[in-house]
Amino acid sequence: MAEIFDLILKNGTVVTSGGIVETDIAVRNGRIADLGSFSAAKEIIDCKNLHILPGAIDTQVHFREPGLTHKEDLSTGTLSAIAGGVTTVFEMPNTDPLTITADALHDKLHRAQDRAWCDYAFFIGGCAENATDLARLEMLPGCCGVKIFMGSSTGSLLAAEDDVILSLLKSGTRRVALHAEDEERLKSRKYIAEASHDVRDHPNWRDVETALKASQRAVKLAREAGRRIHLLHITTADEMEFLSGHKDIATVEVTPQHLTLSAPECYERLGTLAQMNPPIRDRHHQEALWHAVRAGIVDVLGSDHAPHTREEKAKTYPASPGGMAGVQTILPLMLDHVSKGRLSLERLVDLLAHGPQRVYQIARKGRIAVGYDADFAVVDLNKSRAITNKWIQSKCGWTPFDGLTVMGWVRGTVLRGRLVMWEDEILGSPAGGVVSFAESQRKL
């Protein structure tokens, strides 16, 4: 008698870490049980003419809860994730209150329970107040690591001085994520934005030197502390050239926004809707980011999903906040880049699944292999569709990519063996759970 599985994804083209293969995927108890040819299951999803990718892992999202839930919350943010094929998110600590204590982390975990649509973990913010406790805090269940803001962005979480950053890096063992902009240079150059009130000056205020100086400082301090770091949303050719020589200690993230939008056109067309930190820069820097993606300098794609209301974004620059929704559009945008030949599908899967798993030592996620969680994004590489504000599930209700037609679309999302989205329809109830991490994280 044929073995009966919980779920079979049948007739699909599957992107595994060993290559692209035509195979069925059998699922039992929320995990991948086998790859091959199967016919007996409680549920069968026909994936003929579709590709099956590991569920995307977005390791940089801001879901604004607690304290700023008029923009987003853990329910709407994770709903937006599964609508776009993202099955795991790492949420940032610049909420209100800041996530810098065990109590604040536990509060987020409690809030996410029975409300999150995808799996999740939370960063602890690193600051002078908790520096001596970080080694303990980073090992708490539900914590994905430590995040340091070297330059001010949204919120008050900041560690700008070298001695503070060094003390944070010396406390603990896990890889530390950093927002690398130099705070002193940001403060000294803010007059540029305040004088012009023109968002086209955003990359002039937060210039290349502001980013490069901070990334260089971060690597120097990481070497002094003997601590591996992960540099978020790198935006400049100069940083990529520098970081290419420091891959032993620093992994690198880029965002689809910086790979897709370019200055000055994006500011002229979108105004403050294109404002984010670090800024969208010109095509010279964008081309360098693409070179770094293809050369293997970049390890991870993250959305930096950081929504604000339209009313907040409509304020006169620089009172307008930096940030935009991104978790739902990360996969469609990048599938479109695949269709245009800018990167291969295998490389995209590495950046959105294998890479995050390696960098953060995530347990049982990021790969289509026996024993791993049955998290999948089922995509149609030949489907052309327009991204629209109406499609966006985020509470903010807008995307800078409204009206953009892309080639490649997410048809369905599977979370630990449960079909949670199919053809834009959200299925069932929130089933997200806490992400686990490999024991080897302790030896980084």
Active-site amino acid positions: 304
Kindly state the helix (H) or strand (E) to which residue 290 belongs, with its residue range: helix 283-295
Rounded CA Rg of the chain = 21
Q: Please, what is the Cα angle at 92 between 213 and 415, to 5 degrees?
A: 130
Q: How far apart are CA 375 and CA 296, in angstroms?
A: 25
Q: How far apart are CA 187 and CA 185, in angstroms?
A: 5
For the beta carbon of residue 60, count every other beta carbon within 10 angstroms.
Answer: 27
Q: How far apart are CA 317 and CA 198, in angstroms?
A: 6
Encoded amino acid at 337, one letter: H
DSSP for 183-234 reads HHHHHHHHHHHHHH--GGGHHHHT-HHHHHHHHHHHHHHHHHHT--EEE-S-
Distance (Å) of CA 283 to CA 260, 289, 375, 397: 10, 10, 35, 28
3-class DSSP state of 345? helix
DSSP state of 348: H
Contact (Cβ atoms closer than 8 angstroms) between residue 177 and residue 229: yes
Q: Which residues pair with 425 in a beta bridge?
A: 422
Distance (Å) of CA 323 to CA 74, 166, 275, 337, 399: 17, 28, 6, 22, 11
Residue 146: CA count within 13 A, CB half-sphere: 33
Backbone angles phi, psi at 36, to 5 degrees: 160, -135
Q: How far apart are CA 46 and CA 50, in angstroms?
A: 9
Cis peptide before 97 (omega within 30 of 0): yes
Q: How far apart are CA 36 and CA 104, in angstroms?
A: 45
DSSP state of 101: S
Residue reference for tokens 């940089």 = 60
- Nearest partner of 15 among 48, 45, 53, judged by Cα: 53
